[in-house]
Amino acid sequence: MSKKAGCRVRVVVRLRPVLDEKERCKEPCVRGIDEKHLEIFNWRNDQETIKYNFDAFYSERSSQEDIYQDSVEPLLKHTLNGQNASVFAYGPTFAGKTFTMIGCASDVGIIPRSVNKLLSIINAEQSSTDEWNYTVNFSYLEIYQEKVYDLLEPKNHDLLIREDRERNIFIPGLAEKEITSFEQFQKLFIPASHKRTTASTKLNSRSSRSHAILLLKIVRVQQVAPFKKLTGKLFLIDLAGSEDNRRTGNHGIRLKESGAINVSLFSLGQVVDALNQGLPRIPYRDSKLTRLLQDSLGGTAHACMITNIAPEEKHYSDTYSTLNFAAKSRHIINKPFTRESTEKPKRASKRKSSEESYTLKTPPKIPRRTPDMLLTNTPFVTVRKDSAKPKNSLQPFLSPFLRRQANFAESVVTRLEILEQSILSQMRPPVEERIPEQTEQEDLLRQLEESRQQLKLLQEQNQKLKEQRLSELQNEQNSTSDCLFQKIPLVKKKSAAKLVDKSNSADGSGQPVKTKKALQNVNTQSPDLQFVKIVHTDSQHGKENVTDPGQQKGWAVKLNRELQDKHNSEILHILNTGTVKQLKSLQSIGEKRANLIHGWRETHGTFSKVEDLQRVHGLTKKTVESIVKNNLLSKLMFQ
Ligand code: ADP
Ligand code: MG
């Protein structure tokens, strides 16, 4: 059984130089403090700054070589040892992601530097020893409007993303090109890069509107016993920026592109949150991007996130939300493991299907983050044995001996090897029959365990919500809080209908006591309010009824336009500045919606009007209208 190991995602920040001549004389909105710290001015109080601590901070003076040497090259060795590694550039448009990943002809970026380095290590090793044989394949794809496109074979588009039994993410049909030299790589990579879907926006004349992912697969096969086969992957990812559509002047197809990009980036935020909270279910499947990054975030890869930011004040809100996202990504712990199998040379093997027998089939479980780990931000590291072997492994006991006997005639060696194979195959249980069964069983057990944990967690959350709601209701009844928008228990249809019965009403007027009091308040204290109707006449029966305040019918609130605007701007203020708790103080906004709104704000900045709430994933036009209406009514009733 392999021991567990975890390593935190390395999160670094790179600040690009000021590019805009007009901005050069102005004070930048963000500046570095030292090699790990930076600060940005606080928009709530311009006398203050907000400080951040990352694994590394690269100032505007840092070079491509600095960032590559320090944060990327150390990851490459893992891919030669059968592990996965990922480097991805995150940040708003025009902050320098593509420059960092690809660079320019005079100063190349991380992708060319990494490929060049890996190929030169491999070539040097192959010319010094025959022990290992290497194959390097590369694929290049983009995710554009939630569809996967093959940049090496343009006819392949809208490809599916799949997961195999060993939980490896793969894309069936994606082209893989073998490369043995850097020149070969460049010939394929440069034209493919130009194929990336680009479009002009006000912000960036060659803005990449898609997420581009370059995958290098390195297979290393041992030519002598024990014939190990190691498969490592390197993902180099240039993410598209999330733009504020109002600022870029996007409309039509561009607006749709931004929307699709934002779904992916929003899901990325959700995944990061779920990982940080140690939830049993991580919503990787919510977007193509997160599905593909599954290996890089809380998965099995060594990962480095390069957060690109711009110094100009006009990019302040993007920079601020990007830094907040990067800060929370620091808590993610990945669990690297080695993909190792043994591969017999063809000459020694009688059966094709027995060429490969996996010695480590099941990816290790990712350790659950405990609150301690989150608070201290300490990498969680335990030691594990990467090349675990099955208990009954019969790793070669004859072949090494045979290989040493150079004086044997070739025909004798062949016959002895055939004999050895037949002895081995009788002694060893058939690999392909045993392992799938075992893996399947382990998979099912793991799924069952995960479902149980998820169920338990949901039950606990449900209980907490119930208790919280109960105490909120009690508080509302006991005291008048100074909160702007008070939660009011809405009058239910049936009980309200009973209350209109004059004989049953406390003051004989036929109106629910609380509602009437509120109405009196409204009418006497709000001269701007022209008419509030709660009781309406049923035209068929001529009776009075009280209608559910949540419904349109039966209510007619005519407000002074100015007053309505004032209420909307008060709601907007809370939406833009409130904490999750404060958001929950709004009518019709519970824990889930408050989190959605807060998350959206972190990624996209502020709302310009209340109706913008519709842009939050999961909030429909109808929901937003009802949120606005309920808050307005609550405010009027408790004024
Ligand atoms: P993104 O991919 O994030 O949209 P780009 O990589 O296209 O941003 O960068 C925007 C502009 O800034 C480009 O003109 C690029 O050459 C320039 N740039 C970005 N980072 C740097 C840097 N570190 N040094 C010099 N120029 C940079
Ligand atoms: Mg770009």
Q: What is the mean pLDDT of residues 327-335?
A: 75
Quote the Cα angle for 141-258-192, to 5°. 25
Residue 254's pLDDT is 53
493 and 615 part of one domain: no
Please count the CA atoms within 13 angstroms of the CA of 189 that sit on its side-chain side: 22
Number of residues that make up the chain: 639
- CA–centroid distance, 8 to ligand 1, in Å, is 27
Give a yes or no: residue 438 inside a domain: no
567 and 550 part of one domain: no
Quote the Cα angle for 305-309-313, to 5°. 160
Please give the C-alpha separations between residue 208 and each of 310, 408, 554, in angstroms, as whole numbers: 16, 63, 52
Q: Is 97 in the pocket of ligand 1 (CB under 6 A)?
A: yes
DSSP per residue over 391-442, as a string? TT----SSHHHHHH-TTS-HHHHHHHHHHHHHHHHHHSPPHHHHHHHHHHHH
Q: Is 308 in the pocket of ligand 1 (CB under 6 A)?
A: yes
Segment 558-607, tens digit of pLDDT: 566 777 788 888 888 888 888 888 888 888 888 888 888 888 888 788 88
- CA–centroid distance, 28 to ligand 1, in Å, is 17
Q: What is the count of structural domains for the chain? A: 3
Give a yes or no: residue 265 inside a domain: yes
495 and 571 part of one domain: no
CATH code (residue 569) = 1.10.150.280
498 and 633 part of one domain: no
Segment 74-92, tens digit of pLDDT: 999 999 998 889 998 999 8
Give a yes or no: residue 367 inside a domain: no
With cut-offs at 50, 70 and 90, classify the pLDDT of residue 488.
Answer: very low
Q: Is 93 in the pocket of ligand 1 (CB under 6 A)?
A: yes
- How far is it, in rounded angstroms, from Cα 365 to Cα 442? 12
**Both tokens of residue 77?**
């060795």
Give a yes or no: residue 85 inside a domain: yes
User: Under a CB-based contact definition with an 8 Å cutoff, are residues 575 and 582 in contact?
Assistant: no
With cut-offs at 50, 70 and 90, classify the pLDDT of residue 339.
Answer: low
Residue 65's pLDDT is 96
Segment 93-149, tens digit of pLDDT: 889 999 999 998 899 999 999 999 999 999 999 999 888 999 999 999 988 888 898
Domain containing 181 equals: 7-342
Atom of ligand 1 nearest to the CA of 102: 6
CATH code (residue 63) = 3.40.850.10
- Residue 100 CA: which ligand is closest? 1
Whether the upstream peptide bond of residue 226 has omega within 30° of 0, thus cis, is yes
- Range of weakest confidence among 209-223, 250-264, 536-550: 536-550
Which of 504, 527, 559 represents a domain boundary (last residue)?
Answer: 559
Distance of CA 634 to the CA centre of its chain: 37
The backbone region for 430, taken as left when phi is positive above 0, alpha when psi lies in -120 to 50, beta otherwise, is beta
Nearest CA to ligand 1 atom 10: 94
Q: Tell me the best of 12, 16, 57, 62 to mutate to test the pocket of ligand 1, counting ligand atoms within 8 Å of each CB and taking the most.
A: 16
- Among residues 597, 592, 588, 600, which one has the least CA distance to residue 632? 588
Residue 520's pLDDT is 40
- CA–centroid distance, 159 to ligand 1, in Å, is 30
Give a yes or no: residue 588 inside a domain: yes
- CA–centroid distance, 330 to ligand 2, in Å, is 23
**Both tokens of residue 315?**
């990019």
Q: Tell me the best of 62, 88, 94, 211 to mutate to test the pocket of ligand 1, counting ligand atoms within 8 Å of each CB and taking the most.
A: 94
Q: Is 59 in the pocket of ligand 1 (CB under 6 A)?
A: no
Q: In a 10 Å sphere around its CB, with 0-12 CB exposed, 13-18 middle and 19+ buried, how is residue 118 labelled?
A: buried
Q: Is 94 in the pocket of ligand 1 (CB under 6 A)?
A: yes
Residue 425's pLDDT is 58
Residue 611's pLDDT is 87
Atom of ligand 1 nearest to the CA of 62: 23
- How far is it, in rounded angstroms, from Cα 575 to Cα 582? 9
152 and 229 part of one domain: yes
Instruction: For 57-92, give one letter per residue: b (16+ CB within 10 A) or e.
Output: bbbeebebeebbebbbbebbebbbbbbbbbbbbbbb
Give a yes or no: residue 605 inside a domain: yes
Q: Is 17 in the pocket of ligand 1 (CB under 6 A)?
A: yes
Atom of ligand 1 nearest to the CA of 238: 2
- CA–centroid distance, 217 to ligand 2, in Å, is 24
113 and 255 part of one domain: yes
Nearest CA to ligand 1 atom 5: 96
- CA–centroid distance, 509 to ligand 2, in Å, is 68
Q: What is the mean pLDDT of residues 413-418?
A: 66
With cut-offs at 50, 70 and 90, classify the pLDDT of residue 57.
Answer: very high
- How far is it, in rounded angstroms, from Cα 299 to Cα 15? 28
544 and 615 part of one domain: no
Atom of ligand 1 nearest to the CA of 89: 3
Segment 289-324, tens digit of pLDDT: 888 888 777 777 788 999 999 999 888 888 998 998
Phi, psi of 258 (to 5 degrees): -60, -40
Nearest CA to ligand 1 atom 17: 96
Q: Is 241 in the pocket of ligand 1 (CB under 6 A)?
A: yes
Q: Is 96 in the pocket of ligand 1 (CB under 6 A)?
A: yes
Q: Is 99 in the pocket of ligand 1 (CB under 6 A)?
A: yes
Q: Is 16 in the pocket of ligand 1 (CB under 6 A)?
A: yes
Segment 233-278, tens digit of pLDDT: 999 999 878 655 445 555 555 555 555 455 777 787 788 878 878 8
485 and 625 part of one domain: no
Q: Is 90 in the pocket of ligand 1 (CB under 6 A)?
A: no
- CA–centroid distance, 95 to ligand 2, in Å, is 8
Among 44-48, 159-163, 388-392, the range with the most confident prediction by mean pLDDT is 159-163
Atom of ligand 1 nearest to the CA of 308: 3
Q: Is 109 in the pocket of ligand 1 (CB under 6 A)?
A: no
Give a yes or no: residue 493 inside a domain: yes
The pTM of the whole model exceeds 0.75: no
With cut-offs at 50, 70 and 90, classify the pLDDT of residue 424.
Answer: low
265 and 170 part of one domain: yes
Percent of all residues in the chain with a pLDDT value above 70, rounded to a whole number: 62
- Residue 96 CA: which ligand is closest? 1
Which of 342, 363, 381 represents a domain boundary (last residue)?
Answer: 342
Give a yes or no: residue 138 inside a domain: yes
Q: Is the pLDDT score of 365 beyond 60?
A: no
46 and 109 part of one domain: yes
- CA–centroid distance, 101 to ligand 1, in Å, is 10
Atom of ligand 1 nearest to the CA of 93: 4
Which of 280, 308, 342 represents a domain boundary (last residue)?
Answer: 342
555 and 565 part of one domain: no
- CA–centroid distance, 16 to ligand 1, in Å, is 7
DSSP E strand boundaries for 488-602: 529-533, 535-537, 544-546, 556-559
Please give the C-alpha separations between residue 517 and each of 87, 506, 520, in angstroms, as whole numbers: 62, 12, 5
Which residues are within 5 Å of ligand 2 (an ion), measured at CB? Answer: 97-98, 208
- Range of weakest confidence among 258-262, 367-371, 374-378, 477-481: 374-378
Nearest CA to ligand 1 atom 20: 96
- CA–centroid distance, 95 to ligand 1, in Å, is 6
User: Under a CB-based contact definition with an 8 Å cutoff, are residues 516 and 596 in contact?
Assistant: no
With cut-offs at 50, 70 and 90, classify the pLDDT of residue 495.
Answer: very low
- Residue 196 CA: which ligand is closest? 2
Q: Is 268 in the pocket of ligand 1 (CB under 6 A)?
A: no
126 and 232 part of one domain: yes
Q: What is the mean pLDDT of the chain?
A: 71
Segment 601-625, tens digit of pLDDT: 887 888 888 888 888 888 888 888 8
- Count of other CB atoms within 10 angstroms of residue 591: 16
Q: Are strands 132-144 and 211-222 parallel, antiparallel or unpaired?
A: antiparallel
Atom of ligand 1 nearest to the CA of 206: 7
- Which residues, in sequence order, are bridge partners of residue 570? none
- CA–centroid distance, 99 to ligand 1, in Å, is 5
- Range of weakest confidence among 40-54, 121-135, 357-371: 357-371
The residue among 392 and 126 whose pLDDT is bigger is 126
- CA–centroid distance, 13 to ligand 1, in Å, is 14
Distance of CA 134 to the CA centre of its chain: 33
